[in-house]
Structure 1
Amino acid sequence: MATYLDTPGRVCRSLSEEDMELVHALQINGRASFREIADVLGISDQTAARRWARLRSAGKLRVLGLTDPIRLGNSVWLVRVRCTPDAASSLGKAMARRPDTTWVNLDSGGTEISCSVRTRSPGPEESPLLQKLPRTPQVVDLSAHCSLHVFFGHDLGPINKRGPLTAAQVAALTPPDTPDRATDATPPVPLDDSDRQLLDLLARDGRAATGDLAAATGLSPSTVRRRITELRSAGALYFDVEYHPDILQQSFRAALWLEIDPSRLAEAGSALAAHPEVAYATATTGTANLYASIDVATAQLFYRYLTESVATLPGLRHTATAPIQRTLKGPGPYLPTTA
């Protein structure tokens, strides 16, 4: 589950049960028609459309069409930047404006920035950001860890674990062209210029009308529909729901870095992915070879999670945590905060 740009001091407000059903449906199938959603939820399509319009216009959520880096032959690097306290906010905002970054967070009391950086090659040498940061005077220390295997994330979020829809409703909404997860043997999906333009538009509005996408790309509506289906079937394109932080119902977020015995890494990663507190989990390079983003309501519950759930993970050798103070950018294109 994604989060909108954070603003300090916001009060958490929960969505209604009816809104949560709609959100859960959109997380499963971001481009499902209101008729398809309405049939599953047992409401009218006008009601589904009205609820969506209200939430979207209020800035509560948006649907994003995002790409799986593995299916495009890209690499993802989890980057930790420790900098001088006076520079963290400005440097983090500059990193958030870059198109090659996602999930830019201020951590550890505002002295550390963490983010995800995508590169077109297996190594970091083609990333201008990773080449520039070590030479930045305000940067005290930098480490980059390649994401090796995502255990939980992309089109899956906490609402997939805790959402109100039944298994039958989830099955009815799941697209028939949902692909298997990418593996090392999966060849990259080739893209042409029209594909890239289409994907850029979907990254800003995953539910953009086919006619609008056709007009913007110069493709026919039938070609747009066909190409979205093909890219989705190939696993290159998936849809996610991005939320404003005041509806998350969680006020304590933390980055969790774990050192796991390599022989138990797959087992530990799968177990971690099943935890309801985990919003994202991936195996990484480095001594800390398993990373997770954690969402809980309080620091006390985070302590309980560490001592009761994390402590029992197979092969656990070491644990490190960093509270997430503020999110400057989520998984979609950068949108400056107006609040």
Structure 2
Amino acid sequence: MSRELGIGQSTAYRVTQSLLQRGLVRPRVEIEPGLLGYALEAVVALTVSPGGMREAARTLARHPSARYVSTNAGTFSVVHQGVFRDEEGLAEFLTRDLAELPGVISFDVSVVLQALRRHWLDREDGRLAAVPGPTDTGSGRHDDT
């Protein structure tokens, strides 16, 4: 990091430690779900009665499949992005877990065929792609001028 930023190693270390201690950055591990046996990813967009939005979203956020849950203004008031081991796991989620949520009027399911970008990270063949450097021109070659 010090080399990329053009600062000394001790300065980079102190800045990093300060950011971590103040909770301004948090390191995390990003693992492709398919590598852990969760081969199916789906986005479930729900229309929920206004009085049930928050509770539905909170309940879905606690579900083990949840990777992303939001409340929204628009056609779909709650969106759940989840990972499942297979079609049977998704079907169980839809017919059991969603059926128990109060206020659900309707829902729409989209199965993800290929994730090309997730959490600001590009994907290639289900794996993290190479991270471009600060002078990357997007052509695969670095512009040193």
The TM-score normalised by the length of structure 1 is: 0.34
What is the rounded CA distance, in whole Å, between the counterparts of 1:280 and 1:238 in structure 2? 18
- The number of equivalent residue pairs is 127
Structure with greater proportional helix content: 1
Structure 2: runs of 5 or more not aligned: 128-145
Amino acid at match of 1:296: F
Note if 1:263 corresponds to 2:51: yes
In structure 2, give the amino acid aligned to 1:223. T
Aligned partner of residue 241 in structure 1, secondary structure: coil
Partners of 2:52 and 2:67 in 1: CA distance: 21
Aligned to 1:241: 29
Question: Match of 1:315?
Answer: 103
Sequence identity (%): 23
The answer to whether the 8 A contact 2:115-2:123 is kept is no
Offset of residue 323 of structure 1? 0.8
Q: Which residue of 2 is the match for residue 288 of structure 1?
A: 76
Q: Which residue of 2 aligns with 1:254?
A: 42
Shift of 1:235: 4.8
Other structure's SS at 1:325 match: coil
Change (3 A) 1:324 1:337: closer
Aligned partner letter, 1:268: A
TM-score, length-scaled by structure 2: 0.72
C-alpha separation between the residues in 1 aligned to 2:54 and 2:104? 12
SS at match of 1:250: coil
Query: Any unmatched runs of 5+ in structure 1?
Result: 1-212
CA drift at 1:298: 1.8
Offset from partner CA, 1:253-296 (integer Å, 9 cap, x none): 21110112222222211111111121221222212021111211
Q: Distance in 2 between matches of 1:308 and 1:282?
A: 20
1:329 aligns with 2:110: no
How far off is 1:247 after superposition?
1.4
Q: Taking structure 1 as reference, are residues 284 and 230 closer, same or farther at Cα in structure 2, changes over 3 Å only?
A: farther
Amino acid at match of 2:11: T
Q: Which residue of the partner structure matches residue 275 of structure 1?
A: 63
Which residue identity lines up with residue 105 of structure 2 in the other structure? R
Shift of 1:326: 0.9
Could you say what secondary structure the match of 2:116 adopts? Answer: strand
Q: Which has the higher contact order (CA 8 A, sep 6+)?
A: 1
RMSD (Å) for aligned C-alpha atoms: 2.5
Distance 1:228 1:330 in 2: 24
- How far is 1:220 from its partner? 2.8
Residue 263 and residue 220 in structure 1: after superposition, are their counterparts in 2 closer, same or farther (change >3 A)? farther
Counterparts in 2 of 1:243 and 1:303: CA distance versus 1, 3 Å: same
